[in-house]
Each structure stands twice: as C-alpha cells, then as structure tokens.
Amino acid sequence: MTQDDPSMRRDLRFGLEEALDGELPPALVERMRRHTSDCPECADEWEQMRLLKELVRRSCADRAPSELRERIAVQCRTVEVTRTEVDGTTVSVTRTTTTRRTGPAV
C-alpha cells in the first residue's frame, strides 16, 4: 500500500474489511493474502484489521445485563430554568421527563 492518495488508502482498507468479512470472492482474497506476504505495510494493515475485528467480535458476544438494557431504553431529560424577575426575585423551575425509547431491542 504505497499510494499517497488518502482515498486510495481508504479503498484498500475497505477491501481488507470485505476480505476479512468473507464478502469478496475467494480468488481475490487469496491474491490479497499473497500480496501481504511480499508487502510488509499491507501485512501490517491486514493484521491490524484482523485483530480489530476479532476484538469487536469478542466484545459483542455477551448480552448486556437486563438492568443496563433498561437504563439504556429509558431516556431521562432534566431541564432547569432560573430567571430573575423585575422586582429582584429569583424563580427556578426544574422539569424532568422520562420516555421509553422505541426501536430495536437493546
């Protein structure tokens, strides 16, 4: 990966992800693997991407505890407004709303 063009580097990294995810034809992946055996820079990129994907897979394997899922599903919002009236008195109003998020299960 010796190209200096940032978009070229991005495209090559994207290709690495596709290869590691099994989304490219096996012949192309094998060609990429052969290339990495001769190109230390690409071999490093390949290994870094592989390790990152492995880490993400391991980290996402466990389901969050039910208490945490509930806390994530409920969104709390507190707004506090303080203002000073013309006569010098201070009025402070606090409003808290709690809503349950809808969407995919957490």
**Predicted confidence (pLDDT) per residue in 18-64, tens digit:** 899 899 999 888 888 888 888 898 889 899 999 999 998 888 777 87
Residue 105 domain flag = no
Residues of the domain holding 87: 70-99
Q: Is there a single domain that holds both residue 91 and residue 47?
A: no
Could you tell me if 50 and 76 lie in one domain? no
Answer yes or no: is 35 within a domain.
Answer: yes
pLDDT value of position 47: 93
51 and 80 fall within a common domain: no
Would the pLDDT of 104 be above 80?
no
Sequence letter at residue 60 = C
Q: Is residue 1 part of a domain?
A: no
51 shares a domain with 17: yes
Angstrom CA distances, 74 to 62, 67, 80, 89, 98, stand at 21, 11, 20, 36, 7
Regarding whether 80 and 53 lie in a shared domain, the answer is no
Give the integer Cα–Cα distance in Å for 80 and 83.
10
| pTM reported for the whole predicted model | 0.47
Number of domain units in the chain = 2
Has residue 106 been placed in a domain? no
Answer yes or no: do 11 and 34 share one domain: yes
Within 10 A of 81 (CB to CB), how many other CB atoms are there? 9
The sign of the dihedral angle between the CA atoms of 40, 34, 24, 58 is: negative
